[in-house]
């Protein structure tokens, strides 16, 4: 794909010369996200700042059949923002304003290029709570969260991004600008384009404004780390906690290696792990009444003590809580620093977790790869990091994908699916046939075509 000077000058006329980039450094910068080691630079990077500019750009792209890839903070793990067919890389970084924190209606209207953590802090200052907290929240954009339907540790109690999106301003691939719904908590008015857009990974439209529901903030929490001698029992405990009537605000699972590598990677985390501990659960409850939280923590202790566990570590101070969360949030980075790896975002009904974990280990033995598993166990969402380690390039390229396919087949056989919160993007699309029948995939293709008749928007994603 080559963009000639005529097209470039049209783009410059729309956004201004200083927001069109064709230099290699910028193109490479916007050609990668956090997905393995892929680099797919766009031919040109354009930085618009209004929906109308995007509309004009899309009209040109349609005229010349040029791929357009919306690019957020490039923290994605499924390659959703990679310009796999070149074309125009549409950086959303200038859409960086929180437009209105509506304290009367408990809503916020924001542009998509706001960092999730910045948004969370801005509403927290008004006593309001946006609960969705992907591990990358310190750097990811809220628009990317909407595009991938991101989750995070608190999803187990509070839900994922889709549960907070009330309405979206979207530029359709053909250039029309619409609001998908209304700024209301309930809506039974026509087809739910809002929820169709959430998680569509930038393939159906470009999000330019987001209306999010907020809730009153919870003032207190209790955090505990429970070491299990058997990883399988840690998984069993997850389901048992819910059956005891508790909905924790976080319920995270970490295999032994995940913690060991993280303790090596992050300095100054004062956590000791005994040699025969296989896994940990990090469990949080939150609320407005400390005495209730203590009662709930006690109930949780009663549940986990039915399994083979070591001493429970309670985080007594804010610093101790921060340290435990830093450990959990650093796992992905620590694994990345340790070895080349592939990450799968499996999700199953939570009681199936032990079967999933055992199955993954068996598949690893069959194909000779090591895996490190951790994730949002309360949601049944297990991140499977497959480690290259000493595997040959040949093996990594030819054998490991067969093992991954078996992992996904197992996941689907357990009533689960391919991705809980990272999306399909570029790297998982060849596994979509495991989760969906041919008529189903064809239906999705026709849906895509309705929005994007020329297939210009983020091509080569989601659908195989």
Q: Which residues within the stretch 153-192 sit at the binding site for its own copies (CB under 8 A)? A: 155-156, 159-160, 162-163, 172, 176, 178, 181-192
- Choose between 111 and 148: whose C-beta lies nearer to its own copies: 148
CA distance 124 to 76: 25
DSSP letters, 254-267, are EEHHHHHHHHHHST
What is the contact mask toward its own copies in residues 89 to 108, using x (rule: CB under 8 A)? Answer: -------------xxxxxx-
Residue 234: how many other CB atoms lie within 10 Å: 28
Residues from 26 through 85 that contact its own copies (CB under 8 A): none
**Which residue's structure tokens are 């093992």?**
403
Tokens, residue 202: 């930038």
Tokens, residue 351: 């009681």
Residues from 283 through 312 that contact its own copies (CB under 8 A): 288-289, 292, 295
- Choose between 152 and 227: whose C-beta lies nearer to its own copies: 152
Shortest spacing between CB 145 and its own copies, in angstroms: 11
Tokens, residue 186: 């309930």
Question: Among 318-326, 333-341, 359-367, 420-428, which window interacts with its own copies (CB under 8 A)?
Answer: 420-428
Q: Give yes or no for a contact between 151 and 438, defined as CB atoms under 8 angstroms apart.
A: no
CA distance 184 to 105: 9
Shortest spacing between CB 75 and its own copies, in angstroms: 14
- Work out whether 376 is an interface residue with its own copies (CB under 8 A): yes
What's 157-177 look like in SS3? HHCCHHHCEEEEEEECCCCCE
- Choose between 120 and 338: whose C-beta lies nearer to its own copies: 120
Interface residue with its own copies, options 418, 427, 456, 457 (CB under 8 A): 418
Tokens, residue 339: 């070895």
- Choose between 139 and 195: whose C-beta lies nearer to its own copies: 195
Helix axes 353-367, 231-243, angle to 10 degrees: 160
Nearest to 197 by CA among 189, 188, 207, 187: 207
Question: Among 19-27, 56-64, 220-228, 411-419, which window interacts with its own copies (CB under 8 A)?
Answer: 411-419
- Work out whether 148 is an interface residue with its own copies (CB under 8 A): yes
Shortest spacing between CB 41 and its own copies, in angstroms: 25
What is the contact mask toward its own copies in residues 208 to 247, using x (rule: CB under 8 A)? Answer: -------xxx---------------------x--xx-xxx
Q: How far is CA 43 from CA 3, 30, 375, 407, in A?
A: 7, 10, 36, 36
- Choose between 227 and 248: whose C-beta lies nearer to its own copies: 248
For residue 227, the cross-strand partners are 280
Q: How many residues bind its own copies (CB under 8 A)?
A: 90
- Choose between 253 and 261: whose C-beta lies nearer to its own copies: 253
Shortest spacing between CB 428 and its own copies, in angstroms: 8
Residue 317: how many other CB atoms lie within 10 Å: 8
- Choose between 56 and 448: whose C-beta lies nearer to its own copies: 448
Q: Which helix (H) or strand (E) holds 444?
A: helix 438-451
- Choose between 381 and 385: whose C-beta lies nearer to its own copies: 381
Residues from 427 through 446 that contact its own copies (CB under 8 A): 432, 435-437, 439-440, 443-444, 446
CA distance 252 to 377: 5
- Choose between 13 and 100: whose C-beta lies nearer to its own copies: 100
Tokens, residue 69: 């890839």
What is the contact mask toward its own copies in residues 108 to 127, using x (rule: CB under 8 A)? Answer: -------------------x
CA distance 110 to 145: 13
Shortest spacing between CB 3 and its own copies, in angstroms: 28
Question: Among 8-16, 225-233, 361-369, 448-456, which window interacts with its own copies (CB under 8 A)?
Answer: 448-456
- Choose between 45 and 58: whose C-beta lies nearer to its own copies: 58
- Choose between 1 and 301: whose C-beta lies nearer to its own copies: 301
Exposure string (b/e) for 58-77, b if CB count within 10 Å is 16 or more?
bebbbebebbbbbbbbbbbb
- Work out whether 377 is an interface residue with its own copies (CB under 8 A): no
Q: 351 CB contacts (<8 Å, ≥6 apart)?
A: 239
Interface residue with its own copies, options 100, 121, 294, 349 (CB under 8 A): 349
CA distance 146 to 126: 23
């Amino acid at each position: 794909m080559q963009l000639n000077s005529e097209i470039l000058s049209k783009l410059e006329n729309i956004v201004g010369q200083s927001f069109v980039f064709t230099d290699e450094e910028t193109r490479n910068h916007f050609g990668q996200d956090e997905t393995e080691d892929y680099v797919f630079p766009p031919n040109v990077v354009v930085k618009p700042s209004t929906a109308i500019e995007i509309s004009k750009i899309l009209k040109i792209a349609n005229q010349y059949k040029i791929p357009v890839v919306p690019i957020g903070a490039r923290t994605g793990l499924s390659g959703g923002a990679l310009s796999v067919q070149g074309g125009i890389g549409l950086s959303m970084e200038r859409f960086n304003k929180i437009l209105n924190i509506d304290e009367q209606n408990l809503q916020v209207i924001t542009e998509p290029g706001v960092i999730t953590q910045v948004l969370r802090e801005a509403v927290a200052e008004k006593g309001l709570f946006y609960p969705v907290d992907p591990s990358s929240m310190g750097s990811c954009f809220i628009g990317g969260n909407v595009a991938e339907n991101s989750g995070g540790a608190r999803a187990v109690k509070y839900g994922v991004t889709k549960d907070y999106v009330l309405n979206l301003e979207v530029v359709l691939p053909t250039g029309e600008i619409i609001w998908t719904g209304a700024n209301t908590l309930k809506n039974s008015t026509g087809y739910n384009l809002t929820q169709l857009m959430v998680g569509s990974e930038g393939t159906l439209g470009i999000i330019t404004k987001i209306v999010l529901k907020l809730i009153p903030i919870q003032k207190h929490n209790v955090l505990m780390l429970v070491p299990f001698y058997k990883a399988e029992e840690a998984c069993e405990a997850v389901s048992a906690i819910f059956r005891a009537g508790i909905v924790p605000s976080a319920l995270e699972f970490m295999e032994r290696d995940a913690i060991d590598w993280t303790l090596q990677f992050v300095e100054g985390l004062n956590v000791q792990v005994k040699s025969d501990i296989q896994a940990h659960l990090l469990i949080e409850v939150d609320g407005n009444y400390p005495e209730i939280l203590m009662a709930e923590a006690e109930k949780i202790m009663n549940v986990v003590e039915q399994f083979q566990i070591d001493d429970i570590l309670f985080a007594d101070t804010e610093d101790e809580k921060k340290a435990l969360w830093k450990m959990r949030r650093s796992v992905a980075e620590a694994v990345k620093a340790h070895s080349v790896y592939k990450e799968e975002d499996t999700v199953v009904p939570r009681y199936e977790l032990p079967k999933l974990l055992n199955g993954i280990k068996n598949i690893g033995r069959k194909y000779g790869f090591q895996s490190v598993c951790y994730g949002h166990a309360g949601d049944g969402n297990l991140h499977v990091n497959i480690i290259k380690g000493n595997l040959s390039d040949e093996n990594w390229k030819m054998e490991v994908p067969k093992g991954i396919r078996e992992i996904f087949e197992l996941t689907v056989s357990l009533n689960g699916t391919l991705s809980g919160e990272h999306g399909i993007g570029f790297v998982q699309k060849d596994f979509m046939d495991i989760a969906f029948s041919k008529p189903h995939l064809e239906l999705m293709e026709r849906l895509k075509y309705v929005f994007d008749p020329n297939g210009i928007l983020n091509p080569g994603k989601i659908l195989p």
